[in-house]
Amino acid sequence: MAISTEQGQLTGQGLEGFYRSGRRMLSRCQVRVAGREPLAVQARMVAADEARFMATLCVSADAGPDPDVVVERTRYADGKERITLHNVVSRPLRLLVEVALATDLAELGAVASGRAGPELPASVHDSGLRWSCADGQSTVTAQPPPADALASAGLLRWEIELPPGGTRSVELRVRPDGAGPVRAVGRGATSPIAQATAAGDDPRVQSLLHTCVEDLQALLLRDPGNPADTHLAAGAPWRCGMAPADALAAARMTLPLGTRLAAGTLRTLARTQLRGTGSRSGMIPGPRRDAGPHLPPGCTGTEATLLFPALLAEARRWGLPEQETEELLPAAERCLSWLCSTVGDGPYLPDPLRGGPLLCETQAHAHRAAMLGADLLDAYGRPGGEGLREWAQELQSAFRADFWIEDRGGGRPAAARTSDGRALPHLGSGAAHLLDTGLLGSGAAAPGLLDKVQTEQLARLLGGPAMDSGWGLRSLGAKEPAYNPFGHRGGAVRVQETAIAVAGLAAAGYEKEAGSLLRGVLAAAEEFGRRLPEMYAGEQRTAGSAPLPHPAACRPAATAAASGVLLLTALAGIRPDAPAGTVTLRPMRSAPLGEINLTGLRVAGAPFSVRVSRLGLAMVEEAADGLQLGV
């Protein structure tokens, strides 16, 4: 990846630089032309892995206010930079171009914490410079080769002659010593993510979906031991590797773009599944995660283990081939066995340890895993489905009594129950998972933990001003104790949970609340250049305001980019059942964004396109042969 400010120059300050495998390959790349630094005039993203910086320069003393030279820098995440000089005057120019280079070869964690260390001495190498330390090497090569290379100053120089209207370029390549070029997974012909497009009355949908798909492709990683299997990195710059729960959640939200990403993610994580006879046997391991100001850290391994069978079951509905589903079924069975053994004789799943609080969000994940897992087991004639349904029914009955807190406002779900039976009443975005019940056969949503009255009350709460910031759903209500608009689970807007709330509210028929949250995220996306961060401050939206970035947010982030896909496809309410050869549409009748046309999606392994009219009517415009419209 490459990180810089809008000025384009890499100064070595903060996080600036080119990175590969978590190490800063180049921290400084400063261009001077005719002894002066060009004046930056524009910076923009061309693609998820490409940025372009434009600058101008006056090299003649009597030229007046107009520039003589335009300096264009195109920077690529794979370690390439092209510096192009354009002569925009009617006389020839002879220019000295200097590029000052340096690096510390520091690891990203050291850079982020201010422990990067000094710049390393350079040596002349081939047509550029080289740096080395005990942990690695980095080389910058230039084409054409420089006229001078000064190792002591870290400087490359060219004498460039530009005819009137002429153009000359210098290309720099940064990479570890001896390493070949990087080949981005998402740029290959075998990318698992379909190039879906959106169009409609609201012009924002087209650019949002385009950016989300580009970010997803840029975040793709290969399993080193099994290169055919791909999954998503959690996000840049902080979490460039696999985060199991995030990878599964993002793969689930992107099922409308095909099932290949889900299959690769599931296969990769199945190889990490714990075996043996201990209490953790069957788990997909994952790190602990802060759960906000009112709860102890939660276990992302618990979430990943519960997401695994749910994703496999839904991927089958979207068109995952039967053979691939069967190959992954044993791993899903082990996840479900872990669920049953951990629950034991009680109705609830503890998280992360027995004796700790019982989290509302965890019970929602567990209930969905049991319902979808039972459906999956039945489809392949495996035992255990009936037992899972019986436990899910027991959980449902207990949850409606134990986790619902009655109050004057109509009640609310508890965020958790402590080991001594106390209900923690604060309202957060984790409650949105209660609306995410999962997809069964014939386009039916699985039953949830809440009854109809409780669901209606939850919808009212999520759509109220305490939770809906105008930019999306707060992770903790604004009226709750310890609310902090920058708290990543204490008040900031988390895009993933906002998208889950929108899809869940729409499916339950609460389109007013869903539409408000949807429009808020779209407005925020515009302020962030359509590249959604994983979270941003939950400050209330006012006229003329903009969402405040969170300093620790990843951008791009797998869950945020995948959320864009879920937000737009929720408008059409696509519910496929590929094994049965049907697809059911449950569009948002209120058509909150007007008419929208989604093309290039994937259902049952074939292109799928759908249009939702301004009247909220959905029409299939392209589908697999033999796929029937359900009711």
Asked if residues 514 and 465 have their Cβ atoms less than 8 Å apart, the reply is: no
- For residue 104, the surrounding DSSP H or E stretch is none
- CA pair distance 245, 234, nearest whole angstrom: 9
**Do 145 and 271 belong to one domain?**
no
Render pLDDT for 243-285 as a digit per residue (tens, 0 to 9). 999 999 999 999 999 999 999 999 999 999 999 888 899 999 9
167 and 253 share one domain? no
481: helix, strand or coil = coil
Confidence of residue 182 (pLDDT cuts 50, 70, 90): low
Edge-first strand listing for the sheet containing 136-143: 39-47, 50-57, 69-76, 80-87, 167-175, 136-143, 128-133, 123-125
Residue 601's pLDDT band (cuts 50, 70, 90): very high
Helix (H, G, I), strand (E, B) or coil at 329: helix
Residues 267 and 153 in one domain: no
Residue ending a domain, among 161, 181, 201, is 181
Q: Specify the range with the lowest mean pLDDT, choosing from 61-65, 180-184, 401-405.
A: 180-184
Mean pLDDT over the full length of the chain: 94
Is the alpha carbon torsion for 456, 361, 402, 283 positive or negative? positive
Residue-wise pLDDT tens digits, 456-493? 999 999 999 999 999 999 999 999 999 999 999 999 99
- Is 335 within the bounds of a domain? yes
Single out the residue in 181, 198, 213 at which a domain terminates. Answer: 181
Q: Is the pLDDT of residue 578 over 90?
A: yes
Percent of the chain residues past pLDDT 90, beyond the cut: 87
Q: How far apart are CA 147 and CA 455, in angstroms?
A: 71
pLDDT per residue over 321-367, tens digit each?
A: 999 999 999 999 999 999 999 999 889 998 766 677 899 999 999 99
Residue pair 454/413 in contact (Cβ under 8 Å)? The answer is yes
Residues 383 and 506 in one domain: yes
Which whole number is the average pLDDT over 218-231?
Answer: 94
Instruction: Yes or no: say if 32 and 98 are a contact pair by the CB < 8 Å rule.
Output: yes
Strands (E) across 144-283 are located at: 148-150, 155-162, 167-175, 197-200, 220-223, 226-232
* Structural domain contains residue 561: yes
pLDDT at 63: 66
Q: Could you tell me the end-to-end alpha-carbon distance of the chain, in angstroms, rounded to an integer?
A: 47
Q: What tokens does 415 get?
A: 């965020």
Lowest mean pLDDT among 37-41, 58-62, 207-211: 58-62
Strand order in the sheet with 618-622: 197-200, 596-603, 606-612, 618-622
| Residue 631 covered by a domain | no
C-alpha distances out from residue 49 to 1, 227, 535, Å: 8, 21, 21
Using the predicted structure, report yes or no on whether residue 94 has a pLDDT greater than 80: yes
Provide mean pLDDT across the span 509-536: 97
Residue keyed to tokens 């710049």: 119
CB–CB of 272/225 below 8 Å?
A: no
Per-residue confidence (pLDDT) for residue 235, from 0 to 100: 95
* Domain total in the chain: 2
216: domain CATH number is 1.50.10.10
Q: Give yes or no: residues 203 and 240 share one domain.
A: yes
Tell whether 630 is covered by a domain: no
- Indicate if 355 and 240 belong to the same structural domain: yes
Counting DSSP H helices and E strands in the chain, the numbers are 12, 34
pLDDT at position 296 is 86
For residue 437, the one-letter residue type is T
d(CA 101, CA 553): 29
Same domain flag for 155 and 216: no
Q: What is the pLDDT of residue 180?
A: 61
Same domain for 154 and 193? no
Query: Looking at residues 386-405, what average pLDDT do you find?
Result: 97
- The CATH number of residue 9's host domain is 2.70.98.40
pLDDT of residue 187: 65
Helices (H), 53-116: 108-112
Task: Tell me the C-alpha distance between 260 and 318, whole Å.
Answer: 11
Do residues 223 and 128 share a domain?
A: no
Residue 353 lies in a domain: yes
Check residue 352 and give its pLDDT.
Answer: 61
Does residue 27 lie in a domain region? yes
pLDDT of residue 385: 97
**245 in the same domain as 152:** no
Strand order in the sheet with 148-150: 10-11, 28-33, 93-102, 155-162, 148-150
- Nearest 10 degrees: Cα torsion 400, 402, 407, 412: -60
Identify the weakest region by mean pLDDT among 9-13, 61-65, 106-110, 235-239.
61-65
Where does a domain end: 128, 161, 181? 181
Q: Does the pLDDT of residue 189 top 80, yes or no?
A: no
Domain assignment present for residue 628? The answer is no
Residue 185, pLDDT score: 72
What pLDDT was estimated at residue 8? 95
Task: Give the three-class secondary structure for 287.
Answer: coil
Q: What percent of the chain has pLDDT above 70? A: 97
In this predicted structure, the answer to whether residue 181 has a pLDDT above a threshold of 90 is no
Contacts of residue 60, Cβ cutoff 8 Å, sequence gap at least 6: 68, 89
454 and 508 in a common domain: yes
Bridge partners of 138? 131
> Is residue 419 predicted with pLDDT exceeding 90?
no
- Domain match, 143 and 56 both: yes
Question: Residue 383's domain spans which residues?
Answer: 184-622
| Whether 18 contacts 79, CB under 8 Å | yes
